[in-house]
Amino acid sequence: MEIRFIRRHLLILIGILAVITVLVDLVRISSYKSLPQRPDKKIQTRQDQVYYDLVNGSKEIDWSQLDGTLEYINGQYDCADFNLVSLIRIIYQYGEIIPAANMAKIKNTLLNFRYWWDEPGENSMCYWSENHQILFASAEYLIGQKYPDTVFPKSGLTGKQHIAKARKRILDWMEMRWNYGFIEYYSSVYYQEDIGGMINLIDFADEEISKKMQIIMDLLMYDVAAQNVKTMFISASGRAYEGNRKGGRNSTLNGLTNYYWGNGEKIGSGLMYGMMTTKRYCLPQVLSEIGRDTSTVIIKQNNGLDISELKQEGFYGTDDKCMMMQLGMEAFSNPEVIRNTLELVRKNKMFSNSFLTDLKILDFSLLRWLHLEPLLIRIVNPQSNGVAIQKGNTYTYKTKDYSLYSVQNHQPGNYADQQHVAGMNIGNSFSIFHTHPALEKDKHSQSPNYWVGYGHFPKVAQDGNVCLAIYNTPSKKGLMEADLLDYTHAWFPKEQFDSTLVIGNFAMGKKGNTYCAFIGKNPFKFRAETTDNLIQQGKQTFWITEAGSKDENGSFGEFCQRIQKNSLTFNSQNLELTYISKDKKYQLTFDSDFLVNGVVVNTKYPRYDSPYCKADKKAQTLNFNCNGKSLYLDFFNMKRNF
């Protein structure tokens, strides 16, 4: 009787303490304020133009043009690290001609900047994505090197201490790229940001960093060369926005592909302009040959890691290197890593960062003490889980007329964010692709939205010039899902083709000598008042993309007739799709394997598998070859021969 009395009162006491703890936490959490990512009014930043003018011999520089740049950096607004790229080149190459008063303002800004998440202060800058990691580390290293014995007031560290901190992150970042490739693979947006930070280190850092970074730059430029078609760099990608999916003649990595293997015209001002002025980096000729190559090739590649591989690869902790991999993957809320994310955010006072402020709903002491965050995430399954950029096994089929590309069997059915898992380049004119929109057309969100990312990933498989995709949209919206639309759609810009035929569940187009076809389960119809937005109703549907050309198929009419006569079956219950084209039988099942002519296709690839390079992941050396030119890379021994 006495034991039960004690137990009952102990439970009451525990309950009271739990309620008090929750109430105290609610008060604390409600006090978190979100800091702005951008200034209230647009600030004009001119550092790129100033650097361009200096390089090109302008005699009259209005140094006050940098005032807006300094204001933006002082405000520690998101992407301030972008503005540091050209500013660093200015002070390194032209510091002696900067007037003393202007130089004093620049120095004050640079000494008081917050270069990493562990430094005192709070802001809403994104530090963690792959491109921001190298931009911040590059800036910290080079500013520390510029002022080695000066104490930086905000951090309390000397320049030399900043160099040591940043140097480790730079070496770790490069080693991850060497071993696993780019997480933001084939991103025509974020490769530009990578290049900005990388070229500054190549030009101004110590010998080890410079030599190793030249090797990593070669890997990035190989990606660009191998995936581009006649200078248009658009492909499957870990992070892509609307313009990066739709393509077009301006999709040339801001002109860099034109410069290296197109017409040779130099690029204009911007954070990549160091590529035009560098004395240390020279693009190996083999990469230009690959960029120009018009032979028919299949390029398979393995990029990044899955969350399930983090532990075995040694990236499961909360140190900088581990968190750079986890957050570089944009894996924030996934149950495997949520406790690591919260530990980092708490430790560095980052609930005020507007990118991370929603995590405050998990900042309850009881959840932390009882390790309940992963369980809660599994139950709720928030849409943010789809932000994680997991391993991409990419497959690209290229001819002189087109490229068809995909990420094989990539997280089918899961939420998505900015990933792009299937599309086709119509020469270097434009691209076509299909997607399950995450939001309706008029609803605003950076990503995912109507044209960016997916509501739910399809199951994708490709062999040669044929790509199959099955969409299995859930019947009910997830607990925290923004929207759940019951249709899929495609970018199919009718006006940009020479001719098209849209009939029933077929959409076919011709541009020059390039042909393409979409085949769906249900009839296609252009969205009202559009000639580029092809809608297919239905939750359980498929899209087949077949690429062709005049050389391969004869006339466009013959291509269209053949496509419409091809054998096709789809089981909506089992989600089994069978398609026969040119005596080749393709079979794809949503929850099973991909078969071609009855043989299971392995969609897990080594690091590189193409006519240009074959190598396993974490290979010690790499060899690239094309048209008699070659490149030999040995990262750890800093050997680069071409």
| Listed residue (143, 273, 123) closest to 204, CA to CA | 143
| pTM for the whole structure | 0.96
CATH assignment of 391-605? 2.70.98
Within 8 A by CB and 6+ apart from 530, the residues are none
Q: Where are the alpha helices (DSSP H) in 65-181?
A: 67-74, 80-94, 100-111, 130-146, 159-180
- pLDDT value of residue 545: 98
- Three-state SS for 405? strand
Banded model confidence at residue 225, pLDDT cuts 50, 70, 90: very high
In 202-224, which positions are buried (b, 16+ CB within 10 angstroms) versus exposed (e)?
bbbbeeebbbbbbbbbbbbbbbb
- pLDDT tens string 311-323: 999 999 999 999 9
Is the pLDDT at 551 greater than 70? The verdict is yes
Q: Count Cβ atoms below 10 Å from residue 117 Cβ, excluding itself.
A: 21
Confidence of residue 9 (pLDDT cuts 50, 70, 90): low
Residue in this structure with the two tokens 């892509």, named with its chain if needed = 240
The per-residue pLDDT for range 259-287, each reduced to its tens digit, is: 999 999 999 999 999 999 999 999 999 99
Q: Where are the alpha helices (DSSP H) in 352-444?
A: 365-369, 373-380
Q: Is the pLDDT of residue 1 over 60?
A: no
Q: Both tokens of residue 382? A: 């928030």
Work out the angle at residue 93's Cα, subtended by the Cα atoms of residues 91 and 95, and round it to the nearest 5 degrees: 40
* Spatial strand order in the sheet of 639-641: 622-626, 629-634, 639-641
pLDDT, one tens digit per residue, over 497-536 is 999 999 999 999 999 999 999 999 999 999 999 999 999 9
Q: What's phi and psi for 7, nearest 5 deg?
A: -65, -40
Please provide residue 400's backbone torsions phi and psi, each rounded to the nearest 5 degrees: -70, -15
Collapse the DSSP code of 82 into the 3-class scheme (helix H, G, I; strand E, B; otherwise coil) and give the result: helix
CA-CA distance, 337 to 323, in Å (whole number)? 10
Residue 13 pairs in a beta bridge with: none
Rounded to whole angstroms, how far apart are CA atoms 67 and 46?
A: 8
